[in-house]
Amino acid sequence: MAIQLQNTATDNAVIPVTSGVGSGVGYAQPSLEVLSCYSCNIKGGCLIEKLTIAHDHSYQLVKNKKVLAKGKHIFRGGDDTKAMYVVSRGSVKSYMLMEDGEEQVLNFYLPGDVFGLDAMGSHCHISSTVALENTTICKLPLSGLQNRVLGQGFLNMISDNMLRDHNLMLMLASKDADGRLASFLVDMFKRTGKQGHPVNAIKLTMTRQDIANYLGLAIETVSRTLRRFQDSGMLDVTQRKVKVYDFNCLLAIAGTQVVY
């Protein structure tokens, strides 16, 4: 089950997985490897499958499973890849680069999350995405998506993405450092747990700088706030591992949270 990574020199490349039972039935599809999803164990099942095939069986779903080494980009702003992706294992950060070189982190994606939708309407991706650890992703080309029958699953996904964004906007506009950090942690705990049951310990895969860029805070503020949380006995932070002892307290500090 362990992922073996060949450390290629190319930074932007995705490494095709050669495992899996490729159903070699001759569909007249482009040069994309069709793979089975045996090794994919996303909670709630594969989202990609729910998206487009609901009512149009003439559309053969082409999926690419890829393994990415930590730090490798899936795509960068300006890339005309025009595909969307599902995280199968690992985690991904999406961000936009600003003139001054600062990056605004837009989101962190965990297994089951869909990303890359920003290329849906425009001719290229606007944000960039990078693997925060060794990560397996599933790719679905967006070309040919228009004028296709899109199931309710697709609309749900868009809607979820919008809600998530709105939640972040709400947080950035109205919460102080404590509220932001607490909200962030609550979110991560909830999303990490299986079917809605939060776990009590997670391992953050992003740097403090990433968290700061996401929450609109200085890295020092992130560090200090986490320490205060720890000193209060509410949780325990050891490097990137976070244990909660009083989740309700964390919820209280987080304040208003939009329901998912």
Partner DNA sequence: CGATTCGTTGACATGCTTCAAACTTCGTGG
Partner DNA sequence: CCACGAAGTTTGAAGCATGTCAACGAATCG
Residues 13-32 touching a second copy, rule: CB under 8 A, are none
For the chain, give the number of residues.
260
- In the complex, what is the shortest distance from the CB of residue 178 to DNA, in angstroms, rounded to a whole number? 6
Secondary structure (H, E, C), 29-84: CCCCCCCCCCCCCCCCCCHHHHHHCCCCCCCCCCCEEEEECCCCEEECCCCCCCEE
Answer yes or no whether residue 51 interacts with DNA by CB under 7 A: no
Choice between 3 and 219, CB closer to DNA: 219
Q: Which of 13, 149, 199, 218 binds a second copy (CB under 8 A)?
A: 149
Identify the H or E element spanning 138. Answer: strand 135-141
Q: Which of 208, 247, 255, 257 binds DNA (CB under 7 A)?
A: 208
Answer yes or no whether residue 176 interacts with DNA by CB under 7 A: yes
- In the complex, what is the shortest distance from the CB of residue 51 to a second copy, in angstroms, rounded to a whole number? 11
Answer yes or no whether residue 166 interacts with a second copy by CB under 8 A: yes
CA distances from 120 to 36, 41, 117, 158 (A): 25, 26, 5, 11
- The residues that bridge with 115 in the sheet, in sequence order, are 85
> Which of 222, 232, 238 has its CA nearest to residue 252?
232
Binding site for a second copy (CB under 8 A): 54-55, 96, 98-100, 102, 104, 106, 117-122, 126-127, 145-152, 155-163, 165-166, 168-170, 172-174, 213-216, 255-256, 258
